[in-house]
Structure 1
């Protein structure tokens, strides 16, 4: 599995979720939270991006809350 640094992770999420390397201002903090949650796993970011595409800020926040209730080792095991 390829691990990316924070800059690469944010850029990947930005390109896939917003078609630009940087998120819009309203999503910037959320992108940072998702990048930290994924821990540099590019596949995790791509899976999450496909779920979050074209969703509102409120939906992003709600999804992150739900994801944080699932232990990371279970998610990493599935990936």
Structure 2
């Protein structure tokens, strides 16, 4: 059994399509059987918007890490 991230489509509370990147768990036959609902980071109303958000978030790794010190953001020293 294993897991990975997958794009899932749901209907939101207004019964409109919503896309999320979720942690999906697979059984011994490689069939998906469960997903994490509580801590998904990427949520959007369209697949294109979801891709755009992902690309925007990926750019965060190109910048220095920030740290919260006394309620202020400062560049972390590693």
With the shorter chain as reference, the TM-score category is 0.3 to 0.5
Flag the structure with larger Rg: 2
In terms of fraction of residues, the more helix-rich structure is 1
In terms of fraction of residues, the more strand-rich structure is 2
Higher relative contact order (CA 8 A, sep 6+): 1
